[in-house]
Structures are given as C-alpha cells and as structure tokens.
Amino acid sequence: MPSNKSVSDAPIVQFTNCRILRSHQLQREDLWVREGKILNPEKLFFDEKGSADIQLDCKDSIIAPGFIDVQINGGFGVDFSLATDDFKSGLDLVSQKILSHGVTSFCPTLVTSPPSVYHQVLPQISIRNGGAHGAGILGAHLEGPFISKEKKGAHPEHCLRTFEAGAFQDLLATYGSLDCVRIVTLAPEMKRSSEVIRELTKQGICVSLGHSVANLSQAEEAVQHGATFITHLFNAMLPFHHRDPGIVGLLTSDKIPAGRRVFYGMISDGIHTNPAALRIAHRAHPKGLVLVTDAIAGMGLAPGRHTLGQQVVEIDGLNTYIAGTKTLSGSVATMDTCVRHFQEATGCSVETALEAASLHPAQLLGIEHKKGTLNYDSDADFLMLNDDLYVQATYIAGEEVWRQDALGM
C-alpha cells in the first residue's frame, strides 16, 4: 500500500449537493473521488487528515453508476458485424457517441456472420478502459451463429451453424479466437451444446441463451452447465406456454443451482416488448433484469436503409425491420431512453430503473466490485441525471467526458 502522503498528493474532488445511488437507495451524501476511484471520506478524514482539493456543486442532481450496455450492434452508421478497413475508427466513434447516453462501458455485439468476418473483426476489438476517448470496452458479445433456424430473427440463415463432433473446436474454428470475447449467445437445444457451455464457462465467458426453441428443461440444463443470461427475453424464443414455459420459465424456475442468479436482457424501447410483458418479467424476477439497447448502425441516424451484418434493414420511426419484411432487427433506442421507458412502463422506483442498466449488467459479468455501483474503491464511472432521468453529465474514472451544453454549469 502506498503511504498516506503519496496517496494524498493526488487531487481529491468532492461532489456536493447531490443524491447518490448507493445500496439501492438515493442518499443525500457527497461523493468523493481520487485517482479514478470512489473514496471513503471517513478514511480520508480520520486516517489521512485530508480534505477536498476541489468542490463541485451538483445542483441537486442524481448521481448514479454509469450504464453498461452488454448488447449493442453498432450505431451512428457503424456496424460491428461488418469487416471494414476502418473498423477500429468506427468502434471508437460509437464508444465516443454513447457517452451522451450515459453508457460508460459496453460489449460490442456481432450478429451471425461468416467465419471470415469473425476472423477479421475480433482481433480488432481489445478490452480497454473508458475515458475522454469513449466508453470502456468489456469484450465482444457474439450472438450466433450457433442458434436456431426457426428463431433466427434478423440473422442470415445461410450463416447459421450447428455443433459437429468436436463441438468446442467448431466454435473456436468459427470465431478464430476467444481472447476478447465476453458473452456468447447460443441455442441450448442444439446437440452437444452442454459441452460447449461448460467449456466457455470454464474460460470465464458468459453464456447466454437466445434465438432458440428450447423447452424449459433444456434451458434449465444449460443453466446447470453454467449459462447465466437470456438474450432479449421474449424476442426470438418460443412464446410462454403454461404447460411448458420455455426459456421464459427460467425466471421462476426452482431448478437454478443454489447461489446462482439467471439474468435476462430486455429491449425496453416500447417496440420489442409490450409494456405488460415488461411488467410481467420485472415482477417475476426483478433482480435479474438487464436493460440492453440491441442498437444497430441506424441508431442516431435518420430513417432509411442501413445494415445489420449481412442484412439490409429499414428504419421507420422507432421500428427497424429487415428490408421488405416485418421482421424486427435490433433497435435504434439509446440506453437512457430505455431506462426512462422501463421506469414509466413498470412504475418501478428510480433506483430500480438505474440499477437495471448499471448494477445488474455488472453482476452478470462479475465486475460489480469495480463497476455498476458507487461503493468505496470502485471505479468512478458515474452520471449526473435530473429527476426525469435525463443525463446531464457523464464521468469516467472521475473525469468529466460529456456534458449537456445547455446546463450552463
């Protein structure tokens, strides 16, 4: 441990006149930050006899942990499933632009693609901390190609694959490398999926169930082998049926191993999920709900034709369809919009809405000791919001990286 002297040389910033989301409650406290971390003021006062170098008046804002988007396919004309020469600059652009939505960390997501795309794109994604350059990258989310033909949604059928004899080797050969991979979405009813789930889990990769016709017992078996997430609940899976609720039944299953929590993604954009379905899921299993945007290249752009991997999609208002069809293909919603819609649709508390986009995705990825909370010693990635949950400013490692111009603060 460095001595108090060496620690206290770094400037200490005290955010005052704010309500901090901590321990599931908005608390009227100050937030103390030093060297990119949240500081325990008691230690500062009593152990170091220190005080703040800079005080910032937050004008009664809410301070909440930065949002974490674990499913985002692109935005602002950039498609993460296209192998382009300037892929890295596209990734940088999206990571910069989503700071205004309150996103401080994300998982760039690739939809079902030919192996050549994975081999070209994945080496260009590296895990990195966020900062003024943009939101941090937590690793890639690979959605497919090991998914169900019947529930392929917007994924191109000619690129779908099944597991052959050497199942995990198939997956490795398809992706080329798992170095930067954080989440893999697959259909658990596929033959040999159990061994793949076990192997991915062993490597610290989160396995998500989606684009699937699995029944409940197949889904439960996948969870027993290590799966912990459900990709965009209700979308691209069998609808809930009272005799076999399918993957949706995991929300209230009694076959989940002790000490394990199943999380589920929800696209709370007012289009992918009816507000009543959002309420049902939230009331059944509130601690597992993770808000995701599932945003595509067209997010932030005018309506018209855009891409999603190998497909052409059309944006019509907030609806995005595969061109010439009525098949939904991702969203153009921003994370802050999803948080507000979720709170409005469910009538949940402000704290609950904010945690669905911060604490829960951090818990899913096992990084809640660093991100997703404002606990002492965690990363100082946080947002200032007004009472209507509009983002006023975004901070990463204690530094302001975006601010709403009109505030005049």
Residue 371 DSSP SS3: coil
Q: Annotated binding residue at 52?
A: no
- The single residue of 294, 336, 379, 381 carrying the catalytic annotation is 294
Closest CA to 140 of 110, 169, 177, 119: 110
Structure tokens at 315: 């944006």
Any bridge partners for residue 55, and if so which? 14
Structure tokens at 97: 């632009």
Neighbours of 199 (CB within 10 A): 19
Q: Annotated binding residue at 143?
A: yes
Residue 39 DSSP SS3: coil
* CA 255 to each of CA 210, 251, 406: distance values in angstroms, whole numbers, following the listed order: 19, 11, 51
Q: Annotated binding residue at 328?
A: yes
Q: Annotated binding residue at 330?
A: yes
Q: Annotated binding residue at 29?
A: no
Q: Annotated binding residue at 235?
A: yes
Structure tokens at 303: 């309506």
By CB atoms closer than 10 A (0-12, 13-18, 19+), residue 86 is: exposed
- Rounded CA-CA distance 192/225 in Å is 12
Q: Annotated binding residue at 329?
A: yes
Contact 273, 234 (CB under 8 A): yes
Structure tokens at 89: 């600059």
Catalytic, 294? Answer yes
Q: Annotated binding residue at 221?
A: no
Q: Annotated binding residue at 236?
A: yes
> 184: phi > 0 → left, psi -120 to 50 → alpha, else beta; which?
beta
Q: Annotated binding residue at 34?
A: no
User: What is the helix (H) or strand (E) element at residue 218, kind and residue range?
Assistant: helix 216-224
Element counts in the chain: helices (H) and strands (E):
11, 22
By CB atoms closer than 10 A (0-12, 13-18, 19+), residue 125 is: buried
- Rounded CA-CA distance 340/102 in Å is 12
Q: Annotated binding residue at 232?
A: yes
Residue 278 φ then ψ, to 5° = -60, -45
Amino acid letter for position 233: L
* CA within 13 Å, CB half, 185: 30
Structure tokens at 284: 């059944």
Structure tokens at 118: 């994975």
- Rounded CA-CA distance 84/4 in Å is 49
Query: Active-site residues: which are they?
Result: 294
Residues tagged in the binding site annotation for substrate:
154, 235-236, 243, 272, 328-330
Residues tagged in the binding site annotation for Zn(2+):
143, 211, 232
Residues tagged in the binding site annotation:
143, 154, 211, 232, 235-236, 243, 272, 328-330
